[in-house]
Amino acid sequence: MLISQLHLAVLKAHNAFVNDARLAGVPNDHVFDEAARQLRWHYQWIVLHEFLPTLVGPALADQVLKDGPHYFRPGRDAFIPLEFADAAYRYGHSQIRHHFQLNLLSDPVPLFPDLLGFRAVPRQHAVDWKLFFDAPHATSAQRAKKIDGKLVKALIDLPVAVTGETEIDAYHSLAVRDLQRGQGIGLPSGEAVARHLGITPLIADEVGIASTGWHGETPLWYYILREADVCTGGHRLGPVGGLIVAEVLNGLVDADATSFRQSHDEWLPKKSLSELLAS
C-alpha cells in the first residue's frame, strides 16, 4: 500500500522533470532521457547526502563519500552483496511501527490488514508524504521505531496473505524468515564480519541471546540490530552495519557510469525530497 503510492509519487516526479525539460527547450527526442537522468541523479544524491548521514551518521557517510569504499569495489560489474541484501539492509524490519498515520483526515491504521498491497488504494489510505518525510513549514514527520532487535507483533505473526499457507507456525514470523535466510545462504556471523573489518565485536552480554540457550556467534542480521541498539541507542546503524550499507550504496552509485558522481560538472539537485514527492 505504501510502496505502490511511493512508486506513483516517483512517476509524477519524472513527469514534472519532463515538463521542466520541455520548458527549457530540450529537443523532443531528448526529453525522456533528460527527465530520466534528472530523476535518477536526484535519487542518487538524496541517498548519499540525505539518507545515509541519517542512517549511519554524518562522519561515516562523509568518509565513504570522500574516500570511496574500501571493501566493496564492484567496478563496472555492479552487484549487491549478500551481507547487504540479506542482513544489513534488513535493519528496517526492526523500524516498522505498529500503526501509521497516513494522512491528516484519517486515524492511524494498523500494519495489517490495512496496509496490505496488491489492491486498489482506498481514499482514506491516500498518503500525505509530509507525515513520512520532513518537509519545510510542516510539523515533524512520524518517526520509525528504533533499531533495537525487536519486531512488532504484526511482523512476528504475519498474515496468510503475506506468507501463503504453511503448516509451520514459525514461518509466520519475519524474524524467523530473516534468520533462516541468512543461515541458508551461509552468511558469516556478525562477530566474524566485525573482526574482518577491524571492529571490536560486541560481547555476549551486549548481544543478549545467551539466556535463550544460544552460545555460538551471532547471526549477522540480528547482530546488526543489536549493534545499533548498543552503540547508538537504536537511532542509527552501528559500525558494522553502517559500514556495509555506506560502502555498498556508494559503491553502486560509483559503479554507474551515468551517475551524478561521474559527471564532470559540480552537479547539485534542483529539488529536495519533499519537493519531488509533491510533484
Note the pLDDT tens digit of each residue in 162-171: 999 999 999 9
pLDDT score at 257: 92
What was the pLDDT predicted at 76?
79
Least confident of 24-28, 75-79, 232-236: 75-79
Mean pLDDT of the region 213-224: 95
Average pLDDT along the chain: 95
Q: Report which of 230, 256, 242 is spatially closest to residue 62, judged by C-alpha positions.
A: 242
| Tally: H helices and E strands in the chain | 13, 2
Separation between Cα atoms, residue 26 and residue 150, nearest integer Å: 51
pLDDT above 70 covers a percentage of the chain that reads: 100
Task: Compute the distance between CA of residue 279 and CA of residue 92 in angstroms, rounded to an integer.
Answer: 26
Structure-derived torsion over alpha carbons of residues 223, 228, 231, 232, reported in degrees to the nearest 10: -170
205-209 contacts at long range (C-beta below 8 A, 24 or more positions apart): 206/230, 208/149
Q: Using pLDDT thresholds of 50, 70 and 90, give the confidence band for residue 275.
A: very high
Q: Please give the single-letter amino acid code of residue 51.
A: F
What does each C-alpha distance from 240 to 23, 197, 226 come to in angstroms? 46, 8, 11
Give the per-residue pLDDT at 279: 85
By C-alpha distance, which of 26, 48, 53, 6 is closest to 276? 6
- Whether the pLDDT of residue 264 is over 80: the answer is no
Report the pLDDT averaged over residues 126-139.
Answer: 93
Band of residue 14 on the pLDDT scale cut at 50, 70, 90: very high
Per-domain boundaries in the chain: 69-272
The proportion of the chain whose per-residue pLDDT surpasses 90, expressed as a percent, equals 90
Contact predicate 149/229, CB 8 Å = yes
Per CATH, is 69-272 categorized as 1.10.640.10? Answer: yes
pTM score, whole prediction: 0.95
Largest CA distance in the chain: 68
As a whole number, mean pLDDT of residues 37-65 equals 97
Q: Residue 26's Cα: distance from chain center in Å?
A: 34
- The residue among 11, 4, 50, 31 whose CA lies nearest residue 279 is 11
Q: What is the pLDDT of residue 215?
A: 87
The reported pLDDT for the residue numbered 238 is 98
Q: Which residues of 14-29 are buried (b: 16+ CB within 10 A; e: fewer)?
A: bebbbebbeeeebeee
pLDDT for the residue 53: 98
Q: Taking residues 97-116, what's their average pLDDT?
A: 95
Look up cell 535466510; give the residue: 181
Question: Of the candidates 138, 108, 142, which has an alpha carbon nearest to the alpha carbon of residue 124?
Answer: 108
